[in-house]
Chains A and B, each alone.
Chain A
Amino acid sequence: EVHLVESGGGLVQPGRSLKLSCAASGFTFSNYDMAWVRQAPTKGLEWVASISPSGGSTYYRDSVKGRFTVSRDNAKSTLYLQVDSLRSEDTATYYCARHPEFGILYFDYWGQGVMVTVSS
């Protein structure tokens, strides 16, 4: 059974950083594109970033380019999101999600999410 478990969220001041993690199990992590999707309180879903199986290709939404970095450690079956220069508009629940196949841009499994609150 596929499991995705996020961690690393919390309350952080504007301009500071956090590193989110997503521990994957139940599938061969190194074979799949992975993604981060966020949801601001009471709002809809917003794709943030994706990464190829090797980590060699990464993709970001415009509003986070240069501030967020997605990475992965296939030996540890773990996905990461380094979030820097945080803004109030980054406040959201961040979900780790799996793309079903290489290059296919939807999400077949989701984690339970981790909350990031940016506030002074």
Chain B
Amino acid sequence: EIVLTQSPTTMAASPGEKVTLTCRASSSVSYMYWYQQKSGTSPKLWIHDTSKVASGVPNRFSGSGSGTSYSLTISSMETEDTATYYCQQGRSYPPTFGGGTKLELK
């Protein structure tokens, strides 16, 4: 099973600040997927195939990475971006998730 480690676990960012969330895999994967989950709601696909932003996601979000190291970047933090972000690998069964990064507003 591929283990995903996200860092930081929690962070706070000011409006307008650039934010980078990281996800490291215990083995190399071809793609990484990211989900946004706001408190009390179901997760939403946010980024797929490492760098493709899902439909409706603001273009201030981007994804990058390869091998065992991936990241999600917000170019300019906005209030509505406060949420928990999970990475997920789908190289093979079982698909696994990282522990999440909770992003708060400073």
B residues neighboring A (CB under 8 Å): 33, 35, 37, 41-45, 48, 54, 86, 88, 90-100
Asked whether, in the complex, the Cβ of A113 is within 8 Å of the Cβ of B42, the reply is yes
Asked whether, in the complex, the Cβ of B94 is within 8 Å of the Cβ of A44, the reply is no
Asked whether, in the complex, the Cβ of B95 is within 8 Å of the Cβ of A105, the reply is yes
Q: Considering only CB atoms, which chain A residue lies closest to B4 in the complex?
A: A44
Asked whether, in the complex, the Cβ of B94 is within 8 Å of the Cβ of A106, the reply is no
Q: Which residues of B contact A76 (CB under 8 A)?
A: none
Asked whether, in the complex, the Cβ of B100 is within 8 Å of the Cβ of A106, the reply is no
Q: Which residues of A contact B93 (CB under 8 A)?
A: 50, 59, 105
List A residues 63-120 near B (Cβ within 8 Å): 95, 100, 104-113
Nearest-Cβ distance from residue A16 to partner chain B, whole angstroms = 26
